[in-house]
Amino acid sequence: MHFSRALRPHNGIQDMELAKRRVLDLRGYVCPYPQLATLRALRSMEPGEELEVMTDNPPSVQNVPAIAKREGHEVVGVYQIGEGLWKIVIRRR
């Protein structure tokens, strides 16, 4: 599991707070594995935690967010971060 530090304002003061975010690197995998692995990871997480899915499989850019939404999770965003590389951020509900 990957942890990242985030600055959050608190009464006008910036506090360092540990934000939980898991990273699931699915580069090199094709359907249906990215969808199945994403659902398995989300089921093991606590509500409010975020999952960052890395993929280089173009169909997964549509299929992973669709299955996450269908399961009731929030898709925070889908970002192209390189040539043929995407990051999908999902918040567990």
The pLDDT tens digits of the residues spanning 11-48 come to 433 333 445 899 999 999 999 999 999 999 999 999 99
Domain total in the chain = 1
83 part of a folded domain:
yes
Residue with structure tokens 């990051």? 87
Taking 50 as the threshold, does the pLDDT of residue 4 lie above it?
Answer: no
Domain of 51 in residue numbering reads as: 20-91
The verdict on residue 71 lying in a domain is yes
| From 31, 36, 66, 85, the catalytic residue | 31
Is 34 among the domain residues?
yes
In a domain, 5, yes or no: no
CATH number at residue 48: 3.30.110.40
pTM: 0.79
Is 31 among the residues known to form the active site?
A: yes
